Chains A and B, each alone.
Chain A
């Protein structure tokens, strides 16, 4: 059905079609115990060690609702400006799959705990103009996670073609929150950026509440991105696809962009977009076809008879509302003002996922410019090249603040500071210990510097002549030679001052 042969670019696609977006985000709550039993939820335990009769679905077992999960869900709903249901029920979603112990999932269907909210997200277009897009939230509901399947043998790592499969039920029953948006129209060329900004903003909201780790790479925040295209001016929506396996903010943007181009090419050649699940491929940046979503899929939802309805008390909801932290959007605006940053610079901090790290580093005594510089520069570079999240680097804000302090006081220059960071990341200890063990301190004793300067002056008489002849910018050669002789451990400014003093010239 997919016709190839045309080659519409992204700009062509946007010129001809309006994209409609929609997002389903799953957030794993960081409760101590599972959604419906007392088992622990820690990530990474040995397979099937965090299980009980309830979460492996043994005959006769029954669920009991985790009240902390309900509270966390209400907090998320309130932070997303939702209405909180005064009465709602869980429902069973019935389908057979070996990672689901009961062969039904306890979820919520037509009675979600939270509904009708919104989240304003800020995007900057190519011309640097701000645009606030209101993403309307349809619902926030609770459900339980499934176990994990490991397919052995076969080429695909999928269940079909595998020789055998193993199941780990540790994750089965971990509380999941699903946040579903309404359709987001009118984003035009900014659609991919809106997608990315929405997931980032949502993550900030959830993170500020302290109810989840919201780590995309560990799967505690998972985004399914729905998109359809309609010809410009058309009154009818197009057929949507749902892209899964989108594991980073950047991937959200790439996946949407790629899917817009793909669908536009299908439509432009008279083809039909198939309603299906697609998988984002990190390596190619494309989406590939997954399961066809046919009408035959019938989950036979009905109210979960093993649980009583949830009826949160109105006073309790107000108590939770009063206890919400400052909304991330407001907090960001306040910080931007405090730090006197441009929109672009502030957006860089947020998009790098560095906001909390920068704030924490400032709290440890660093200057905000230095904190931003280290997290957005060297540390982001290392994180990207290692393919890990910034917050997973083996360095903490206190350590970064100490490095910044050493630079500030002249004990380190930038080059040495990078080596100290390298040492900390390599597990060589605290910054001071790395300075000590690697011998990285700036040479601040003038004696060795003067000796090196004498040597460099003697070796470069022509340069000396140019400096004394009124061209102080030529001093860089001498300073460079001194830096080389001291293996970078000299303070370049001090070398320069000593050189001019020796030559009797002023800058």
Chain B
């Protein structure tokens, strides 16, 4: 069934590549080399990658070809290249989390995500750019310079996982892995016209994921199609005993759901608090059209209210900095990474202080200070304590909503990709870009962003956010596939095909 365009392997889906490799139509090494060549060609303009592992990737690809030749059973994504966000440890590969404080550090251990990619016989092409320690919505806070949006090089690719999203959108890799703490997979997906999924909290191992906010961080797939995202999600997901918050239950059958794409009889809710005012006109327009499509496909669409979502952003910006201020304490120059000021005279406190002052960027410092303050004696109850209560209220809002409907919808981000520098001087404006994605992180359930067209006023991609209850990740893929199929039928291609040539 695999009739792929061998002359343009980088345009082929992950599912298509896996099938072609398994069928012997193309070798894994050819596929990897084609993608490495594409990276060489376009990444100087995009800057999606912080490290390209040419030798390692080719060796992994060759190993897949050898296994195939030996008649061994291969994983469903065998030989498919993946772009890995630089927040996951991989033995011997520079891992920075986008920060200068970790420049040159090569981890001695593999993260759970890397273990799963290896088990699936994927080929890891390299590490992708991100906002420093995943703090940001634009990659402008990367310690190594921003990534550019393949749709418009003057614009941000979203963040923090802008590198993985841009790599996938620019056909440098068919798949990417991201992490989503407040929208860092979904918002880049929306602004680059790709599919991004934040799985249920505990669905994918956090072992070896350099923590931003432990109770919010979740790794997940980035892809150009819903099916490709499902294949990667299935490969990454499942219990890992090394992560105590990992769920000891099988991942819902997301691949079958992506294949189904049938919303007939489903109840779908529109979140009143995540629409209307504050959303760009073209975003609202495409959102309304997507809702109409679902209605036409047989879904029963109702409006629901989640009154406490109003407080989500405020609660998030207390919980996240609090956890981050503690998680980032270990970057002190003592055991790994950058060390500054160790001149033989400075004492340990001075070296720690100088290292952190030199190694962290402004946004990281801002959040460490916010978190330190929020956890301080005398302020804890008013800030962290109250924020945790809001978190419970938001989870209650979701629970009540999911009593009425199977999934909830909203635009993924209030705007399309903004220009570099536009929100850099106004942190709160930047934070507001995550207003629709944050509630899911606070409640721990799952969500997907799927492309639904271009905003008429700027011609940039718009994402639809689908939200489902915890451990009902399959519903995301069912609804996402239904929307995607309808749009592909309408346009004759995936949205990403409309991206300008680089």
Contacts and interface: CB of A to CB of B under 8 A. Distances in A.
Given A59-B102, A60-B208, A306 B330 contact: no
B111 A159 contact: no
Contact of B214 (A65, A101, A103, A305): A305
A92 to B, nearest CB: 5
Given A59-B336, A60-B107, A298-B376, A306 B329 contact: no
A27 interface: no
A58 B336 contact: yes
A62 B206 contact: yes
Given A104-B326, A300-B326, A62 B109 contact: no
Contacts of A101: 330, 335
Given A62-B244, A102-B329, A305 B215 contact: yes
A329 interface: no
Contacts of B88: 60
Given A59-B89, A305-B215, A307-B244, A94 B208 contact: no
Contacts of A301: 375, 380
A60 to B, nearest CB: 4
Nearest to A302: B375
Given A53-B109, A63-B244, A308-B245, A160 B330 contact: no
A301 B213 CA distance: 15
A98 B384 CA distance: 27
Interface string A45-63: 0000000010011111111
Interface string A94-123: 101010011110000000000000000000
Interface string B163-207: 000000000000000000000000000000000000000000011
Nearest to B207: A62
A160 B336 CA distance: 23
Interface stretch (B59-67, B346-354, B358-366): B346-354
B308 interface: no
B386 to A, nearest CB: 13
Most chain A CB inside 10 Å of its own CB: which residue of B89, B95, B208, B326: B326
Contacts of A56: 335
A51 to B, nearest CB: 10
28 contacts: A53-B109, A58-B89, A58-B108, A59-B107, A60-B89, A60-B107, A60-B211, A62-B243, A63-B244, A65-B244, A94-B325, A96-B329, A96-B332, A98-B332, A98-B334, A98-B348, A101-B330, A101-B335, A103-B329, A103-B330, A104-B326, A167-B334, A300-B377, A302-B323, A305-B214, A306-B244, A307-B244, A308-B245
Contacts of A159: 347-348
B479 interface: no
A12 to B, nearest CB: 39
B376 A300 contact: yes
A102 B330 contact: yes
Interface residues of B, number: 45
A65 B210 CA distance: 20
A53 B207 CA distance: 11
A59 B384 CA distance: 24
Which secondary structure dominates where chain A touches chain B?
loop
3 closest A-B pairs by beta carbon, nearest first, are: A103-B329, A300-B375, A305-B214
Given A60-B211, A96-B329, 10 more contacts: A53-B108, A59-B95, A59-B211, A59-B330, A60-B107, A60-B207, A94-B329, A96-B332, A159-B348, A306-B214
Given A60-B89, A101-B335, A103-B329, A302 B322 contact: yes
Contacts of B211: 59-60, 306
Contacts of A57: 330, 335
Interface string A442-480: 000000000000000000000000000000000000000
Nearest to B337: A59
A60 B113 CA distance: 11
A282 B321 CA distance: 45
A97 B478 CA distance: 50
Contacts, number: 101
A302 B330 contact: no
Interface of A: 53, 56-65, 92, 94, 96, 98, 101-104, 159-160, 165, 167, 298, 300-302, 305-308
A165 B348 contact: yes
Given A101-B335, A160-B347, A300-B375, A62 B330 contact: no
B372 to A, nearest CB: 7
Contacts of B325: 94, 300
B89 A96 contact: no
A57 B337 CA distance: 13
Contacts of B244: 62-65, 306-308
B107 A302 contact: no
Most chain B CB inside 10 Å of its own CB: which residue of A160, A301, A302: A302
B326 A94 contact: yes
B242 interface: yes
B384 A302 contact: yes
A64 B242 CA distance: 6
A59 B337 CA distance: 10
B107 A58 contact: yes
A120 B419 CA distance: 72
Contacts of B208: 60-61
B462 interface: no
B97 interface: yes
Contacts of B256: none
A241 to B, nearest CB: 22
A489 to B, nearest CB: 64
B464 interface: no
A64 B248 CA distance: 14
A60 B372 contact: no
Contacts of B153: none
Contacts of B326: 92, 94, 104, 300, 302
B294 interface: no
A192 B111 CA distance: 53
A5 to B, nearest CB: 37
Contacts of B245: 305-308
Interface string B305-334: 000000000000000001101100111101
B241 interface: yes
B368 to A, nearest CB: 11
B391 to A, nearest CB: 12
Contacts of B213: 305
Nearest to A64: B244
A131 B88 CA distance: 61
Given A57-B330, A59-B97, A305-B215, A96 B241 contact: no
Interface string B204-224: 001111110111000000000
A303 to B, nearest CB: 9
A92 B211 CA distance: 15
A154 to B, nearest CB: 11
Most chain B CB inside 10 Å of its own CB: which residue of A60, A61, A98: A60
A301 B330 CA distance: 16
B241 A305 contact: no
Nearest to B353: A96
A374 to B, nearest CB: 50
A307 B375 CA distance: 19
A70 B208 CA distance: 25
Contacts of A305: 213-215, 245, 323
A96 B111 contact: no
Interface in B361-416: 372, 375-377, 380, 384
B376 A103 contact: no
Contacts of A307: 244-245
A267 to B, nearest CB: 29
B209 A60 contact: yes
Contacts of A167: 334
Contacts of A59: 89, 95, 97, 102, 105, 107, 210-211, 330-331, 336
A56 B380 CA distance: 28
A91 to B, nearest CB: 10
A53 B347 CA distance: 26
